[in-house]
Amino acid sequence: MKLSSSGHVRKYASVNYLKNEPKKPDVKTAIPGPKTLALTEKLGKIQNTGAINFFVNYEKSIGNYIVDVDDNVLLDVFTQISSIPLGYNHPRFHDVMKNSQNLSHFINRPALGIFPSADWPDKLERALLSIAPKGLKHVTTMACGACSNEQAFKLMFTAYQRRKRGEPTEEEKESCVYNKEPGCPDLVILGFDGAFHGRSMGCLNVTHTKWIHKMDYPHMDWPCAAFPKLKYPLEENVEENKQEEARCLEDVRRKIDEYNARGKFVAGLIVEPIQGEGGDNSASADFFCQVQAICKEKGVFFHVDEVQTGGGSTGTIWQHEQWNLPHPPDVVTFSKKMLTGGFYATDELLPREAYRIFNTWMGDPTKVLLLEEMVKVIKDENLLSQVKVTGEYLRSNLNELQVNLDKLW
Ligand SMILES: Cc1ncc(COP(=O)(O)O)c(C=O)c1O
């Protein structure tokens, strides 16, 4: 079978992205190798090591290639957990570290919500607002993906209540301290089957992938709607996929109505543009536009979780930009390749009181320093268009493989 190829990809395939980047994998031992096994035993005396693949030599890892402690050179197509934005040891990141003007940021970690440095607003502007999803001009940094989603849920709950009752009453302020209504209302977030939004207690209510994340933990009764299971190749299953998406949209509608009718009001809906943990499932742009339309109709806030898809790997910084939504999402969360966690939000979702969305660090300025550089590198090296070309090449060859699968055996 002959795979189609593009001149552009061939040209780039022969050029190393970074100087000294290996040209190909080089596997010298079994994996895990002897050094990894010895280190796993050592670490195993301190903590659970069940998830460790291998120990890494981060000095030797370059660009797309990760090198383990046994000197095996591997092509890291998954970029760890979808979380390395520019490959290993990018020289521009080294420059950020070498710049003595950045030193105080590394030495003095601020509690950003209370004592930010003078350059913090400019840093947010350059690193995060310069690439903000269209229509969203507020951003707050957080530590990780799960805690960004948790804060986004709180934003949606508060805004939902604010719409309903305006300013909080004294009774609400007193009752909430003891987990009682009306201060703690019966509100829910709707998630999708196969979704992954993190492992914290709130996020687990909308995470529906594997038992290992959920078993033994008490749960809130939050709704879960069907997510499309599309048939491939898409071009050959247009009608069937349309029906599948219609079935799921109907389920979204039904779950919102059902929960609202039970007095468990649906304040928000969270969705991944491409389900990552759930198995690389996605849907058409039209599906997501319709989900947003249902949210608008039902007074439900629309939360797009771009923790896995954000940062450029789909050819746009945010995958949802490819949906051409008529309105911006109410909240977009990010982490992983963005190097810092956080969320973008609309005016309506912004908290009105201090300490509503708060923790000690509120993110880490040193990660934002690197993010600022990452944004520049993406622009300087035109990486988004390269992602599009390379992604199209990969996709078309995978399609061809799929069609010709029977000839391979
Ligand atoms: C879509 C999505 N949301 C949230 C998370 C949770 O992020 P974190 O592991 O940083 O808490 C992940 C992690 O894989 C994810 O893929």
Per-residue pLDDT tens for 35-60? 999 999 999 999 999 999 999 999 99
What value, to the nearest 5°, has the Cα angle with vertex 326 and ends 323 and 327? 105
Catalytic residue among 55, 93, 196, 227: 196
- State the amino acid at position 4 in one-letter form: S
What value, to the nearest 5°, has the Cα angle with vertex 355 and ends 354 and 360? 130
Sign of CA dihedral 105, 111, 112, 117: negative
Question: Which residue's structure tokens are 């909430």?
Answer: 176
Instruction: Quote the tokens at residue 157.
Output: 């709950």
| Three-state secondary structure call for residue 153 | helix
Name the H helices within 198-282. Answer: 211-214, 238-261
Give the mean pLDDT of 254-278: 98
pLDDT for position 1: 35
Q: Which CATH class is domain 104-373?
A: alpha beta
Residue 6 has pLDDT above 90, yes or no: no
Among the listed residues 301, 363, 338, 327, the one whose alpha carbon sits nearest the alpha carbon of residue 136: 327
How many Å apart are CA 119 and CA 97, to the nearest integer? 17
Confidence band of 5 (pLDDT split at 50, 70, 90): very low
Instruction: Quote the tokens at residue 90.
Output: 């990018």
User: In the chain, what percentage of residues exceed pLDDT 90?
Assistant: 90
How many Å apart are CA 317 and CA 188, to the nearest integer? 29
Instruction: Quote the tokens at residue 8.
Output: 């552009």
| Three-state secondary structure call for residue 275 | strand
Give the number of the atom of ligand 1 that is nearest the alpha carbon of residue 147.
11
| Three-state secondary structure call for residue 78 | coil
Strand ranges for 52-167 from DSSP E: 65-67, 73-75, 138-142
Give the mean pLDDT of 65-73: 98
Name the H helices within 285-364. Answer: 285-298
Residue 15 has pLDDT above 90, yes or no: no
Confidence band of 16 (pLDDT split at 50, 70, 90): confident
Q: Which residue has the least CA distance to atom 7 on ligand 1?
A: 145
Instruction: Name the residue of 83, 148, 149, 197 to mutate for ligand 1: max ligand atoms within 8 A of Cβ.
Output: 197
pLDDT for position 19: 86
Cβ–ligand 1 contact at 144 (below 6 Å): yes
Residue 9 has pLDDT above 70, yes or no: no
